Structure 1
Amino acid sequence: MNTSVKFFISGLLIIMFSCTSVEKADLVILNGKVVTIDKDNPRAEAIAVTGENIVAVGSTREIMKRVEEGTTRVIDAGGRLVLPGFNDAHAHFGPVNPDYIELRYITDPSVITAKVAEQVARSKPGELIRGGHWEHEMFDTHAWPSKELVDEVSPDNPVVLSRADGHSVLVNSYVISSSGITAATPDPFGGEIQKDPVTGEPTGIFKESAMRLLKYGAVKVERTAEEEAEREWTGYLLAFQNARELGITSIQLPGSGDWKMYQELDDKGELTTRIDIGAVLSGDAGRLAGYNDLKTRYPAGGNWIRFGYLKGFIDGTLGSGTALMFEPFDDEPDKSGLPQMTFEELEERVIAADAAGFQVGIH
């Protein structure tokens, strides 16, 4: 090959490569400390995103080539850390209730009294007062709360305050009376009505299946169906906003979820967190058939909504003192947990679910 031909081919290749364009991005993040979770290339400066996909990771100089003036959104990280989204592997996710009393991290039980009093003042007589996330181990006394903590400030309203694990609740005397529960009411299988060791009267703490005995006796809040729907929709939008602000981009919902609502959110472009929804473990053939329909509609490889596993309960939690243990608890030597079903029942359900092709998780 003569020299002139070589120069011609070389020049042609230079022109071709210089004219090669890279895909323009919808979003780029530049000048960051990007964690890639790639062991061969664990760090980068910038990323490019098109649609829902990360299309490139590299230096700021490289990613700048994907910027189209007036179209690409550019975020300058300013040297800050850029992480992949967090996955919450176990979240009981749902709409934010603006009237819910948040009791997380409280160490002084009197704060609960004050917060309930504030909510009662904003409510009509008979309206349900809900709240939760308290943990008695964090109280100065480390003692379980009792109905006396809220009775005085809520004589005309039902009060239900869930423990952080959701396996116990504190209720006031209004709820106990509405439920017809007395000192003579026996514990149901898998549950406990905590009672005063001296008087035998219910203390206001109900654990596990005993919570199903409660009848709140609440009056219905006067809202139209449209107002209720709007309230729920706004609550879901707030929940997803909270997730985004915490960097959570995917969630596993064990046991249940509102499929129709999540589908509507997805249809309207408001579903900003990927959802993997579980269902309750069952050995019923009809129910399993319904689950199979959901699994077909929302397959494991789906992008935004997926059908997860079937969740069964064999016991409770450590915090509520209801987790099944081989030995008694140190602080309650007469107790070692509460079974939620017999081993035979659990075995029957697991075998049926497995035979139907479902993944199973046991609490």
Structure 2
Amino acid sequence: MERSLAVLSFFAAICWSLQTLADESHQTADRVILGSIYTVNEGQPWAEGIALKNGVIVYVGNESDSRRWIGEGTEVTTLKQQMVIPGFHDSHAHLLIGVATDTECDLIRLESIAEVEAQLTQCQGLSGFGNAQWIIGSGWAPYLWPKAEPNKALLDRLFPDRPVYLSSSFGHSAWVNSKAMEVLGITADTDPGADGVVVLDPQTGEPTGTLHDAAMLLVKNFLPEMTEEHRLDSIRAALAMAHELGVTAVIEPGVDADILAPLVTLADRGELKIRALTSLSTINWQPGVFDDAIFELLEQRDQWRRPNIGVDSVKIYMDGVIESYTGALLEPYEGSNHERGPRFYSQAQVNRYFSRFDAMGLQIHVHAIGDAGVRIALNGYEAAQAANGPSNNRHHVTHLQLISEEDVPRFAQYNIGATFQPLWAYYDPAAIELDIPAIGAERTHSMYPIGSVHRSGGRINGASDYFVTDMNPLLAIEVGITRQDPYTNSGTPLNASEGVDLATMIKAYTINGAYTMGLEQQQGSIEVGKRADLVILDSNLFELKPYEISDAAVVETIFAGETVFKIDAP
């Protein structure tokens, strides 16, 4: 009997030792971060430490318990005045089509026509694309020209023998020269496509060189193809930029098979270190109207699905933009008794498309700028819900420059995400030079009603619409609070009552974005079991004045536990 007890005691000791070893192994993390952790988890908003293992968050809590996860080989980071938050989600950005490379003419962020001319002069040395040596570029600011309509004369002088195609920073207009129109046979009699505009000179009746919305396809569809390696390098550069800004997830609006191909290539090579939900469209990101061919594209979507690439979303435009008078308004533009902007689809068409997309289990990602465009979209969601019942497809509307007061509560009513670009919500040059002349001071002052939608119970998503504007979430978060110029911290706020608080803006760029991607159980807040997609900031945003938020900087971006961007300590 004593021998049996001794044997049992021996085996019990062995089991206890093995369990202790297992516990010690379990309590050893790959990395432990100690300091101010803002979790965006309402049940535990702040923590003193987190532990990461195999790309997943395995502990969130106080400092002493966090230290229990430190073992041999654990990387330990002790923050000082810094702050950890979940990785930023940009819910509408043209990021994965890439950024301009040194083979393209990059006009982004130029603040005068003189600067544009100087850059175009530099672009004369580009080798160009295709046999005709096309000069291709993007980024010119529409507010530099009256009614956002640059003239071909400048391009003709600099490029008399080479065709030129330059898309605007807003993405809804293109600037071309006479050679481009000659090569493609564009004249005053050319059909501009559904709701497209070929701008004509009022004196001569000839094209001026500005194309709006669908008319851009008259050139874009015939541009020379860029090489696969060029496209891959362009996307790599875009990913590096996103990581530098703390962006770890994005909804990419308007992609077709050609745009998806390099994304899939990078994903299969293990290089796509971002979570991406792609909104499919037969016209890719180009503004305009698609037809029933969209369903053929959607039926192919499973071939592009990857762990980091979602494909159950479709992009559709309701209208153009106010700055070119193609946004759909409930009341006429200034100086007009009848002009309210084009509707890209009838309400009946929208209802049909939305009901069918919703029944397919797809997220419907809508571009709507004017208050009429927003109403048409909301009516479409209402029709889909009536036809199919409530869904969990995470539909959302983006831009939302104007929303009728009576439509504001409908976002909460139908569980439709309101995806704003908060960085637009101040009196920027576009508002002053283009919006006020187009829609008047009163309507301009009411633009981007973020606070109203939030107070009515609507879900706010943060987005940049990069490359239209800067992708930096900290700039956008500041403006969402202050409604004021973040570069000068001065000027009249754009309806200060529409500002929201810091916590709301952080949610818009984290957990709300994750929800809209259908991934809120995996990311968007700092909780045990969620992905270790994190950002370390050089300051605690809650200790800053609102106008100081954009001065903060990303110190490190972590994707699935891996550092993908880091500023080296001095």
TM-score, length-normalised on structure 2?
0.53
Q: Take 2:164 and 2:20, find their aligned partners in 1: how far apart are those partners?
A: 71
Deviation at 1:315, TM superposition (A): 1.5
Cα distance in 1 for partners of 2:67, 2:225 equals 58
Partner of 2:318: 314
Matches of 2:303 and 2:184 in 1, distance apart? 41
Aligned CA distance change for structure 1 residues 292 and 50 (closer, same or farther; 3 Å): farther
Query: SS where residue 194 of structure 2 aligns?
Result: coil
Letter in 2 for 1:66: W
From 154, 158, 162, the equivalent of 1:157 is 162
Give deviations 1:135-185, integer Å, cap 9, x for gaps. 322x38675321123221112222222122211111112112222222343
Give the alignment partner of residue 152 of structure 2, picking from 120, 139, 147.
147
Task: Report the CA distance between 1:292 and its aligned residue.
Answer: 4.6
Partner in structure 1 of residue 394 of structure 2: none
Q: Percent identity?
A: 29
Letter in 2 for 1:97: A
Equivalence for 1:291: 298
- The answer for the alignment partner of 1:327 in structure 2 is 331
Partner of 2:31: 27
Higher relative contact order (CA 8 A, sep 6+): 2
From 107, 126, 136, the equivalent of 1:130 is 136
1:209 matched residue in structure 2: 214
Alpha-carbon distance, 1:321 to partner: 2.2
Report deviation, 1:304: 1.9
Letter matched to residue 126 of structure 1? A
Partner of 2:107: 103
Cα distance in 1 for partners of 2:223, 2:301 equals: 34
Q: Provide the secondary structure at the position in 2 that maps to 1:152.
A: helix
**Residues 292-324 of structure 1: CA deviation (Å, up to 9, x unaligned):** 5535974xxx85221232222231122332111
How far apart, CA to CA, are the structure 2 residues paired with 1:255 and 1:56? 38
The alpha-carbon deviation at position 120 of structure 1 amounts to 1.5
Whichever residue aligns with residue 338 of structure 1, its letter is P
- Partner amino acid, structure 2, of 1:164: S
What amino acid is aligned across from residue 298 of structure 2 in structure 1? Answer: Y
Question: Do 2:31 and 2:51's aligned partners in 1 also have CA atoms closer than 8 Å?
Answer: yes
CA distance in 1, matches of 2:260, 2:224: 28
1:276, 1:237 → 2: CA distance?
Answer: 17
Pair member with larger Rg: 1
* 1:142–1:188 distance in 2 versus 1, CA, 3 Å: closer
Residue in 2 aligned with 1:58? 61
Distance 2:336 2:165 in 1: 24
Other-structure match for 1:224: none
Moved over 6 A (4+): 15-19, 215-221, 331-334
Which stretch of the first structure deviates more once superposed, 158-167 or 60-69? 60-69
Comparing 183-192 with 211-220, greater Cα deviation is found at 211-220
> Is the counterpart of residue 358 in structure 1 residue 362 in structure 2?
yes
The residue aligned with 1:77 is: 79
- Tell me the equivalent position of 2:280: 279
For 1:134 and 1:158, the matched residues in 2 are separated by 17
Determine if contact 2:100/2:106 at 8 Å carries over to the other structure. no
| Alignment match, 1:239 | 238
Could you give the per-residue CA deviations for residues 1-51 of structure 1, whole angstroms, max 9, x where no partner exists? Answer: xxxxxxxxxxx9xx9999853432222323x32211123432223322112
Shift, 1:206, TM fit: 0.3
Tell which deviates more after alignment, 337-346 or 186-195: 337-346
Q: In terms of mean alpha carbon deviation, does 252-261 or 193-202 score higher?
A: 252-261
CA distance in 1, matches of 2:79, 2:161: 53
User: Distance in 2 between the 1:111 and 1:349 partners?
Assistant: 44
In 1: Cα distance, 2:260 partner to 2:132 partner: 31
Aligned to 1:267: 268
1:187-212, Cα deviation, whole Å (9 max, x unpaired): 43311111111121211110111112
**How far does residue 274 in structure 1 lie from its aligned partner after superposition?**
0.2
CA distance in 2, matches of 1:118, 1:63: 55
Q: Tell me how far 1:214 sits from its aligned partner.
A: 2.3
CA-CA distance at 1:129 after TM superposition: 1.8
Q: State how many pairs are aligned.
A: 337
- In the alignment, residue 239 of structure 1 is paired with which amino acid? A
Letter paired with 2:313: Y
Deviation at 1:352, TM superposition (A): 2.9
1:339 to 343, 366, 379: 343
- Residue type of the partner of 1:322? T
Matched to 1:180, the amino acid is: G
Give the CA RMSD over aligned residues: 3.3
| Cα deviation, residue 118, structure 1 | 0.6
Q: Quick one: distance in 2 between partners of 1:248 and 1:321?
A: 33
**Counterpart code for 1:195:** L
Q: Is the 8 A contact 2:142 2:169 kept in 1?
A: no
CA distance in 1, matches of 2:357, 2:63: 50
Larger helix fraction of residues: 2
Taking the aligned partners of 1:194 and 1:283, their CA distance within structure 2 comes to 25
Unaligned runs of 5+ in 1: 1-11, 222-227
Give the direction of change, closer, same or farther, for the CA distance of 1:260–1:215 in structure 2 (3 Å limit): closer
Aligned to 2:47, which of 30, 36, 44?
Answer: 44
Deviates more, 1:235-244 or 1:140-149: 140-149
- Deviation of 1:278 (Å): 1.5
Change (3 A) 1:251 1:154: same
**Compared with structure 1, are the counterparts of its residues 170 and 140 closer, same or farther at alpha carbon in structure 2 (3 Å cutoff)?**
closer
CA contact 1:161–1:169 (8 Å) conserved in 2:
yes
SS at match of 1:79: strand
Query: Do structure 1's residue 114 and structure 2's residue 118 form an aligned pair?
Result: yes
**Uncovered stretches (5+) of structure 2, i.e. residues with no partner:** 1-12, 283-289, 368-570
* Equivalence for 1:4: none
Q: In the alignment, what sits opposite 2:556?
A: none
Residue aligning to 1:225? none
Cα distance change, pair 275–187 in 1 and its aligned pair in 2 (3 A): closer
Instruction: Tell me which residue corresponds to 2:193.
Output: 188
CA contact under 8 A between 1:34 and 1:44: conserved in structure 2? Answer: yes
Q: What CA distance in whole angstroms lies between the structure 2 residues aligned with 1:287 and 1:87?
A: 27
* 1:103 shift after superposition: 2.6
Cα separation, 1, equivalents of 2:204 and 2:170? 28
The AA in structure 1 aligned to 2:238 is A
